[in-house]
């Protein structure tokens, strides 16, 4: 490609090089030591991506256990207690280890500096520390299964007072508290790092309104993390004090207030949902724009929508608490319904991005289309659940389970797969196998919908979530059977992609620097990028500098 100028043959002497040698004497570390000691944002990003994907597979395995237990009524695949551990740790690990860190720490670390033309993150060692805290948190959570009484077993939002020592004795719950607190600190540190990077390390010409939407969404996500995670950590600290130092913050028998936990937890928990969604919206935006060969339609509206989603998401936490009878329903209902508006704007912008483009339908695009379909449906059921009267009917039933899996799995995780298929060439230098990718998508899409679509109906038929077994006379048997079969199919679809990741790492087609005719700066450096990323940058005069350099005849039309 033409945009990177060849390095001038007469290179001026570089003053930094000898200094660098002094800082790192002796041979550079390699192998596992290199992975875990590196301060390179790309290596740390990869560490996050691999670790969080292992978390995804682990928690997915727990989900298969849940579905196996529920495949028929009065089943005894696992005991009540183990079942409670399965769904608690499934939720906890999926949210705190996989879905969040995969995007905001993994892809965020790897691609935010590349997309804004920075050599690294603002605080590289701090970045390394974040990863260590995160890994410690993951091991702490998973290690709960090795303890005497097993892992935490009260659901991922652990409503006090069941989390108190008297109801949940044993180290499993403590490891759950510490594990989540560690991942929380890791998230806060990553947020500080990425915000500073975006504000201070943008390349010349990369003004805020030329940043890719992915970077914008990461920025808003990071602010949400800074607002939400400290509250979570504080809530968990109080819970720890309750359990070990005989305080009574959440203990009703001594005047504590269990409802306080719900407020604190959801004050974190609802922004968390958008922390788990906004970066994935960014992925979809980038993939659709690149593969449509077009600029993002309504770029500024898109930024505005992201900002308003971020703002609104701080004021909707109590829509998880409609049935407590202790919240002001109209206020939270109004704000929750309002979120549909910026989300709708994003949808129409995605359609506008594809409109009159030349959409290359590859695996990444397919996952984005799957995302659009599933997220659309999850959004509509979200509007249903945002209305307190309907939530009175549906609260904690399988309808809710179906809704958030359509948002988090069919939505965010599908977009995550799109991100992997889109950026794998940049990270490894090789493309993923397209035929395996399409096969994986088709099987995963079918399996996903077979798993979760029947769960809407199960919820309407009155099946509560988190029950370990059910009466065979209630009309739930057939739908549960469908759902469990779907879960196995979806698991198979995921495994095809996992095989693809391994296989293509050695045998994939060589990608080159810019395999998708990309638009943003990460495609201007080699694949994988060298340390400190760029040798030269194309001029940055719009939000897609690489495209402008490669297609000077197809610049964005000005006006409307």
Partner 1 sequence: MDLATRLLGTDLGSPHGVTTQDQWTRQLWHTTYWFAVPIGLIVLFGIFWCVLRYRHRPGSSRQASQFQYHIPIEAAYTIIPLLIVAVVFGFMYNAENKVNAVSKTPAVKITVDGFQWGWRFIYPNGHQEVGTVANALDINSEANLPVLYMPAGETVQLHFVSEDVVHTFYVKEFLFNRDLIPGIDNTADFNVTRTGTFEGQCNNICGQYHAYMRFMVRVMPKDAYDAWYASQTPCSVTTAGQSNQTTLPPNSCPTSLSTERQV
Single out the residue of 45, 100, 108, 161 in contact with partner 1 (rule: CB under 8 A). 161
Number of residues that this document lists for the chain: 560
The nearer residue to partner 1, 40 or 468, going by C-beta atoms, is 468
Binding to partner 1 (CB under 8 A) within 186-225 occurs at: none
Size of the site for partner 1 (CB under 8 A): 99
Rounded Cα distance between 392 and 256, Å, is 26
Rama region for 259: left / alpha / beta (φ>0; ψ in -120 to 50; rest): alpha
Does 247 contact partner 1 by CB under 8 A? no
Shortest Cβ distance from residue 492 to partner 1 (Å)?
23
| Relative orientation angle of helices 41-69 and 80-92, to the nearest 10 degrees | 150
Does 438 contact partner 1 by CB under 8 A? no
| Tokens coding 10 | 């007469």
Shortest Cβ distance from residue 384 to partner 1 (Å)?
6
Shortest Cβ distance from residue 99 to partner 1 (Å)?
21
Single out the residue of 38, 52, 84, 186 in contact with partner 1 (rule: CB under 8 A). 84
Residue 341's CB is within 10 A of a number of other CB atoms, namely 12
Does 325 contact partner 1 by CB under 8 A? yes
| Relative orientation angle of helices 434-460 and 477-507, to the nearest 10 degrees | 160
Does 263 contact partner 1 by CB under 8 A? no
Cβ atoms of 239 and 159 within 8 Å: the answer is: no
Does 286 contact partner 1 by CB under 8 A? no
User: At 251, is the secondary structure helix, strand, or coil?
Assistant: coil
| Tokens coding 331 | 């206020």
Single out the residue of 97, 345, 401, 537 in contact with partner 1 (rule: CB under 8 A). 345
The nearer residue to partner 1, 133 or 450, going by C-beta atoms, is 450
| Residues contacting 39, CB < 8 A, separation 6+ | 120, 124, 125, 127, 128
Single out the residue of 1, 323, 530, 531 in contact with partner 1 (rule: CB under 8 A). 323
Stretch that binds partner 1, among 203-211, 255-263, 410-418, 498-506 (CB under 8 A): 255-263
Single out the residue of 132, 223, 240, 347 in contact with partner 1 (rule: CB under 8 A). 347
Single out the residue of 40, 468, 513, 522 in contact with partner 1 (rule: CB under 8 A). 468
Shortest Cβ distance from residue 395 to partner 1 (Å)?
4
The nearer residue to partner 1, 232 or 312, going by C-beta atoms, is 312
Q: What is the DSSP string of 377-433?
A: HHHHHHHHHTSHHHHHHHTTBHHHHHHHHHHIIIIIIHHHHHHHHHHHHHHHSBPPP
CA atoms within 13 A on the CB side of 516: 34
Does 531 contact partner 1 by CB under 8 A? no
Cβ atoms of 479 and 454 within 8 Å: the answer is: yes
**Which position has the token pair 């992201």?**
306
Mask 470-489, x = binds partner 1 (CB under 8 A)? xxxxxx--xx----------
Does 445 contact partner 1 by CB under 8 A? no
Mask 354-383, x = binds partner 1 (CB under 8 A)? xxxxxxxx-------x--xx--xx--x--x
Does 149 contact partner 1 by CB under 8 A? no
Rama region for 206: left / alpha / beta (φ>0; ψ in -120 to 50; rest): beta
Shortest Cβ distance from residue 403 to partner 1 (Å)?
12
Single out the residue of 188, 296, 318, 496 in contact with partner 1 (rule: CB under 8 A). 296
User: Cα separations (Å) of 512 from 289, 366, 516, 527, 538?
Assistant: 20, 22, 10, 6, 17
**Which position has the token pair 């607190």?**
181
């Amino acid at each position: 490609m033409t945009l990177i100028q060849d390095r001038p043959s007469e290179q001026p002497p570089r003053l930094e090089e000898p200094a660098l040698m002094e800082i790192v004497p002796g041979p550079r570390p390699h192998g596992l030591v290199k992975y875990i000691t590196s301060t390179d944002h790309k290596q740390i990003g990869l560490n996050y991506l691999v670790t969080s994907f292992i978390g995804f597979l682990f928690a997915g395995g727990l989900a298969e256990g849940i579905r196996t237990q529920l495949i028929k009524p009065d089943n005894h695949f696992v005991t009540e207690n183990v079942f409670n551990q399965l769904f608690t740790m499934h939720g906890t690990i999926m949210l705190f280890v996989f879905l969040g860190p995969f995007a905001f720490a993994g892809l965020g670390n790897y691609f935010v500096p590349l997309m804004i033309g920075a050599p690294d993150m603002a605080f590289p060692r701090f970045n390394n520390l974040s990863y260590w805290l995160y890994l410690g948190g993951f091991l702490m959570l998973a290690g709960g299964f090795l303890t005497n009484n097993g892992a935490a077993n009260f659901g991922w939002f652990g409503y006090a007072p069941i989390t108190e020592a008297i109801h949940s004795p044993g180290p499993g719950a403590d490891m759950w508290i510490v594990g989540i607190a560690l991942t929380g600190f890791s998230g806060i540190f990553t947020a500080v790092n990425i915000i500073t990077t975006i504000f201070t390390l943008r390349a010349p010409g990369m003004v805020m309104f030329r940043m890719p939407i992915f970077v914008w969404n990461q920025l808003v996500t990071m602010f949400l993390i800074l607002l939400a995670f400290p509250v979570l950590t504080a809530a968990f600290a109080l819970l720890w004090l309750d359990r070990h130092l005989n305080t009574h913050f959440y203990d009703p028998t001594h005047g504590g207030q269990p409802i306080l936990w719900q407020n604190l937890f959801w004050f974190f928990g609802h922004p968390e949902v958008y922390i788990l969604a906004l970066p994935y919206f960014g992925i979809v935006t980038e993939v659709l724009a690149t593969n449509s060969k077009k600029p993002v339609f309504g770029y500024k509206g898109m930024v505005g929508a992201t900002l308003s989603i971020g703002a609104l998401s701080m004021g909707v936490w109590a829509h998880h608490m409609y049935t407590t009878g202790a919240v002001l329903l109209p206020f939270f209902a109004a704000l929750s319904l309002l979120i549909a508006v910026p989300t709708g704007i994003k949808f129409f912008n995605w359609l506008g991005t594809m409109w009159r483009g030349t959409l290359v339908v590859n695996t990444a695009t397919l996952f984005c289309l799957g995302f659009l379909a599933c997220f659309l449906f999850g959004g509509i059921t979200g509007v249903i659940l945002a209305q307190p009267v309907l939530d009175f009917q549906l609260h904690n039933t399988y309808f809710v389970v179906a809704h958030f899996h359509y948002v988090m799995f069919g939505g965010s995780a599908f977009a995550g797969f799109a991100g992997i298929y889109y950026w794998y060439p940049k990270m490894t230098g090789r493309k993923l196998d397209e035929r395996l990718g399409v096969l994986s998508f088709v099987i995963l899409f079918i399996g996903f919908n077979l798993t979760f679509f029947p769960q809407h109906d199960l919820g309407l038929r009155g099946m509560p979530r988190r029950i370990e077994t059910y009466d065979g006379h209630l009309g739930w048997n057939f739908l549960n059977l469908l759902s469990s079969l779907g879960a196995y199919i979806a698991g198979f679809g995921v495994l095809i992609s996992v095989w693809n990741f391994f296989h293509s790492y050695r045998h994939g087609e060589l990608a080159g620097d810019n395999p998708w005719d990309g638009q943003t700066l990460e495609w201007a450096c080699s694949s994988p990028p060298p340390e400190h990323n760029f040798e030269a940058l194309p001029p940055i005069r719009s939000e897609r500098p690489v495209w402008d350099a490669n297609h000077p005849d197809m610049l964005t039309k000005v006006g409307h």
